[in-house]
Structure 1
């Protein structure tokens, strides 16, 4: 290819990304279709409602274990903002901002 490496898009890479997007969409749509056809118990419905939070916690926990003081303080800011405001998006922005500011000053 004649373009620079920073802007080059290999056809194989584009194809793999598009294939992953299709599989991701099919998985989500198929799951929603399947759950819509099942009669769920109250417990199962409750578990499905909390699943997104569990996934976020599992991702963040790994970062906290591997992280340092910047990440730990960012997590504390998130917890404090959620506790005071009960607004998760605001808390996430505050926590990310804290980590960015602390990393920038290091």
Structure 2
């Protein structure tokens, strides 16, 4: 008789554990999909914005934060033309985006002054 009761307890306990395990797995999948979607959305926003940081723009053009606008334009023209001859559209695009970024920063500085 005791063996039968013990067997029933083991079967019932394993059933409860199995249901809890399945429920925990489903919850883990739900949580993983939510966080994955959020991370993907953030990455898509970053890709879509295509805004270059000012330090990166200065590094691409090889200028400092104390460089004049004329010097920035001179470096831009030089790098843009040099890459036009060699046919590197990617580098040309980077140079152009760097100039746009620095132009925006320069205009903000002029307005604030």
Whether these two folds match at TM > 0.5 is: no
TM-score of the two chains, using structure 2 as the length reference: 0.28
By relative contact order (CA 8 Å, sep 6+), the higher-ranking structure is: 2
TM-score of the two chains, using structure 1 as the length reference: 0.29
